Each structure stands twice: as C-alpha cells, then as structure tokens.
Amino acid sequence: MTSRGSEHDEHDEHDEHDEHDRGGAAPDPEAAPPRAPGAAEVVFGERLPLAERFVQCLATTGVTHGLIGPREVPRLWGRHVLNCAVVAELVPCGAAIIDVGSGAGLPGLALAIVCPTSEVHLVEPRRRATDWLTATADAVGLDNVVVHHARAQDVVGTVVAPVATARAVTRIGQLAQWCAPLTSAGGTLLALKGASAATELDEDAAVLRSAHVVDHEILRCGLEVLETPTTVVRLHLADDHQPGIAVVPEGSGPRRGRAGKGRRRPSRS
C-alpha cells in the first residue's frame, strides 16, 4: 500500500456524503460488525474475508474517526459496501482507478477488494481520513492501493487512470472538472448518484462539454444481487482528451496541477 501527501486538510469534496451522519452513541470496538448478507459472497467471492475486515474497520474506527455515522453501522453492507462494490461491473479488468474524495474508502476500498488486479488511487484532502485509509488498507490486506493526501486539483499531472470514481462528492459538473484531468483519453468517470442524476446532467451540460465529456449514461449496477441497485452516471471522455491539464473557467487558460509530496511503502509479498 502506498501513501502520498500534500499540505491540504479540507472538507469541500464531501458535502453530500451520507455516511457522515454522526448521530447516535459511540461504537463498541469489541462489538461484532454486521453479518455479511448472501449477496456479499456473490459479489466478493473468495475475497469476502477482506470485505468483512473492511466492514469491521468501518464499524469501529470508521465511526470514531468521524467517517461513518453510528446509525449507519447496521446497514454498512447493503447501503455502503455492496452499493459501491457492484460498480466493478463497469471497470475493465485490470484498469487503474482514481477515486476522488475517498472519505471512508467508498467506493475506493470496496473496489480495491473486488478488483485485485487494479491499482486504486484514493485522493482525499483530510488528514484524519487519509491516515484511516492507510491503516485500513493495511488491516484489510490490500497491496493495490495508493493513498494521496491531496485535493484532486493537486494531483493533476502526476496521476492518470482510465477510470475515475466518486460517490456523493459534489455536482456532476464540478466532479467532471476535477476528474477529467486525472482520466485518460477515452476514459470514463463513474459517479455514484441518487435521484438528482438526470437533473444534474441536464443543468450541467455546458460544464460537462468544457470538461471534454462527449457522452453520458445513467446505469444501474447490482441488479441481480442488490435489493436496491446502485445508480451510476457514466461519463465518457473524448478520444482526443488530454489528461494532466486542469479544467478551469472559460477565459482563464489551462494550467498544470501541483502534486503533493509522497512516500512509498513496500508491497506485501
């Protein structure tokens, strides 16, 4: 697992995260996490033990770090972990992934578990969250995760992947502006969204064009395994899109992003 950092410790990429409901009592660190439902074995297969360790971390230190609300603990599997993991249906085998605004590792760590041949970059500006992500990736046993303590804007020019993901981070237009510079030509942005998806696509059409988005779809993942399938907006970037150049307001001109410092931890054997 790799950890890289910058000087940022901000919260602006998580305005809509429902896992940040902090109401309720503090968790008992010795309490058993929610039992894995049958769908978890279907989704994770032989890697289910890793997913169970992830849920254990979410139910305990995820709550004490303020990344998951205590009232979310009983529904961690269905509403959070499986909801994110099924997005792997849209990730080409072995494709690298950049998860923007990773927070509690949703969807980033869930995808790292179900996609072991994909290198997953978690981009998160809050120090307490990146510390937790690093510790949790180690506890789960993941060696395909890179944690960046930075804003998306600050890794432009240093991190590029064919797939970018985000869950409830911000409006789709703003998200495209952040993620397009990190995404390869012809790549895709997978945004986990709710009922506002269609409205945002319509209202943010001009912004999406400025971010080199040439097509979009609203898809449902996990139809055969989840009671409530996951809604995903898939944005397609142009084949001639140039990653590594920040998307800025019209008339400002392109500029290169600024990368944070980092350190690499040896992979597990």
Cβ contacts of 173 within 8 Å, gap of 6 or more = 200, 203, 204, 207, 208, 211
Who has greater pLDDT, 176 or 258? 176
CATH code of the domain occupying 2-11+83-134+144-263: 3.40.50.150
User: Which pLDDT score, from 0 to 100, does residue 33 have?
Assistant: 81
The long-range contacts involving 242-245, CB below 8 angstroms and separated by at least 24 positions, are 242/185, 243/160, 243/180, 243/181, 243/182, 243/183, 243/184, 243/185, 243/187, 244/156, 244/157, 244/160, 244/181, 245/156, 245/157, 245/181
Choice among 138-152, 170-184, 209-223, 241-255 with the minimum mean pLDDT? 241-255
Helix (H) / strand (E) containing 56 = helix 48-59
pLDDT per residue as tens digits for the range 62-108 = 999 999 999 999 999 999 999 999 999 999 999 999 999 999 999 99
Residues placed in the known binding site for S-adenosyl-L-methionine = 101, 106, 152-153, 167
Which pLDDT value is given to residue 31?
A: 56
| Domain assignments of the chain as residue spans, ordered by start | 2-11+83-134+144-263
**pLDDT score for 54:** 98
Note the pLDDT of residue 195: 86
Q: Is the pLDDT of residue 11 over 70?
A: no
Bridge-based pairing of strands 145-149 and 120-124 is parallel
Instruction: Enter the pTM of the model.
Output: 0.84
Tokens found for residue 1: 């697992």
Which pLDDT tens digit goes with each residue over 215-263?
999 999 999 999 999 999 999 999 999 998 877 644 333 444 444 433 3
Over 90: is that where the pLDDT of 199 sits? yes
- The pLDDT score that the predictor gives to residue 245 is 83
Average pLDDT over residues 42-49: 98
Over residues 177-181, the mean pLDDT reads 96
Average pLDDT value over all residues in the chain? 86
Q: Annotated binding residues, as ranges? A: 101, 106, 152-153, 167
- Predicted local confidence at residue 2, as pLDDT: 66
